[in-house]
Amino acid sequence: MEHTSGLERALRGVALALIVVFFLFPILWIFLMSFQTNEEILRIPPSPFFTPTLGNYAALISGKLTTVSGTLDIAFMRNLWNSVLLSTASVAIALVLGVPAAYAFARFKFRLGEDIAFTLLSFRFAPPLLVLLPLSLYFQQLGLTDTYAGLIWVYQLIALPLILWIVRGYFEDISPDIEHAYRVAGHSWWSTFTRIAVPLAGPGIAAAGLLAFIFCWNNFVFALILASADKQPVTVGALAFVTASGIQYGQIAAAIVLSVTPTLALALYAQRYLVEGLSLGAVKG
């Protein structure tokens, strides 16, 4: 570690604080907004002082949105549940398919292997809207429109290439001889994969899974076009807050807080594995 003077450390602290404030302020502000009424939010000048209310959260949870012009039904909790279901299932399936595939691409040099891997990645190049038109036609014919299965399938376009390419890199970094040493000691190919390769690539798999989850969670267009209200995730459901009698900022803020929570919780949980993996020391060998 280099020697750092006190001044240097103080300056570094200030710089860090500035960055933290810059990035976290919007989130903090939204958090505060979620406890205010629409009138409090819209008053001029804005003030950080208010009497907190749980009304926004109550409205979301009960599904009754009260505006000046009457009461509206919203399906926020259902949307949230859809988001959790769609993202979790999509990432789980993408992991089950993608991790072994990534291993195969990393370890076995087969004909067209590189081409197949690249084709999978190329799904990410096409703008989603371009894919959507033909896809929605197919989905109508296959009867997959407005089903969870259909959405999860489409979400593989997001999650699978991501997992495949990130995890493949991690597998390639593991010296094949570590696996060879295990195999020659009397273990099958499969148990070498599950007992040696997967644990060593663990941090990479956690990172890829987390990233894929966030991408799925934040997806908007696929669900907007391919699903109807009761299958839609929060990203689409949030449109309901733009009502005839104005935009419900308080509820939107509360909705944002609620919908960020699962991703945040997952990130904090996965972080443990990320750090644990790194502290086990060099994997390359």
Partner 1 sequence: MSQVALSIQGVDKIYRRRGRPPVHAVRTLDMQVGSGEIVALLGSSGCGKTSTLRMIAGFEDVTSGSITLAGRRIDRLEPASRGVTMAFEGYSLYPPLTVRDNIAFALKSARLPAREVDKTVEDMARLVDIEPILDRYPSSISGGQQQRASLARALARRADLYLLDEPMGQLEPQLRAILRGRLKNLLVERGMTSIFVTHDQTEANALADRIAVMEGGILQQFADPKTLRERPANLFVATFVGEPPMNVFAATVAVGDRVSFAVDDGPVFSFSSNELPLDVRDAIGGRKRATIGVRPHAVRLGAGPNEARVVSNQWLGDQSHLAMDVAGKLMVAVSHARIAARSGDLVAFRVGAADLHIFDSDTGAAVSHGLAPACG
User: Out of 176, 230, 239, 246, which residue is the one contacting partner 1 (CB under 8 A)?
Assistant: 176
Number of amino acids touching partner 1 (CB under 8 A): 24
* Residue 253 C-alpha from the chain's centroid: 19
The Cα angle at residue 272 between residues 268 and 274, in degrees rounded to 5: 105
DSSP state, residue 69: T
Minimum CB distance to partner 1 smaller for 113 or for 143:
113
Judge contact between 180 and 140, C-beta under 8 A. Answer: no
275 lies in the binding site for partner 1 (CB under 8 A): no
Judge contact between 197 and 171, C-beta under 8 A. Answer: yes
130 lies in the binding site for partner 1 (CB under 8 A): no
281 lies in the binding site for partner 1 (CB under 8 A): yes
User: Out of 24, 149, 184, 239, which residue is the one contacting partner 1 (CB under 8 A)?
Assistant: 184
97 lies in the binding site for partner 1 (CB under 8 A): no
46 lies in the binding site for partner 1 (CB under 8 A): no
Minimum CB distance to partner 1 smaller for 15 or for 278:
278
Q: Could you tell me the smallest distance in angstroms from the CB atom of residue 25 to partner 1? A: 41
DSSP SS3 for 122: helix
283 lies in the binding site for partner 1 (CB under 8 A): yes
Q: HEC profile for 183-222?
A: HHCCCCHHHHHHHHHHHHCHHHHHHHHHHHHHHHHCCCHH
93 lies in the binding site for partner 1 (CB under 8 A): no
**For residues 217 and 43, what is the distance between their CA atoms, to the nearest angstrom?**
33
User: Out of 4, 122, 140, 175, which residue is the one contacting partner 1 (CB under 8 A)?
Assistant: 175
108 lies in the binding site for partner 1 (CB under 8 A): no
Q: Could you tell me the smallest distance in angstroms from the CB atom of residue 118 to partner 1? A: 13
Q: Could you tell me the smallest distance in angstroms from the CB atom of residue 273 to partner 1? A: 13
**For residues 1 and 181, what is the distance between their CA atoms, to the nearest angstrom?**
36
Region from 23-31, 57-65, 122-130, 187-195 binding partner 1, contact rule CB under 8 A: 187-195
Q: Could you tell me the smallest distance in angstroms from the CB atom of residue 276 to partner 1? A: 10
DSSP SS3 for 66: strand
DSSP SS3 for 182: helix
User: Out of 30, 66, 183, 243, which residue is the one contacting partner 1 (CB under 8 A)?
Assistant: 183
Minimum CB distance to partner 1 smaller for 70 or for 285:
285
**For residues 120 and 164, what is the distance between their CA atoms, to the nearest angstrom?**
8
Minimum CB distance to partner 1 smaller for 8 or for 177:
177
Tokens of 11: 């300056």
196 lies in the binding site for partner 1 (CB under 8 A): yes
Q: Which single residue is written with the structure tokens 């949980």? A: 269
Question: How far is CA 209 from each of CA 64, 124, 125, rounded to the nearest angstrom?
Answer: 35, 16, 20
Tokens of 82: 């859809």
Query: Among residues 207, 114, 215, 109, which one has the least CA distance to residue 156?
Result: 215
Q: Could you tell me the smallest distance in angstroms from the CB atom of residue 212 to partner 1? A: 25
106 lies in the binding site for partner 1 (CB under 8 A): no
User: Out of 29, 182, 215, 220, which residue is the one contacting partner 1 (CB under 8 A)?
Assistant: 182
List interacting residues with partner 1 (CB under 8 A): 109, 114, 175-178, 180-189, 196, 199-200, 280-283, 285
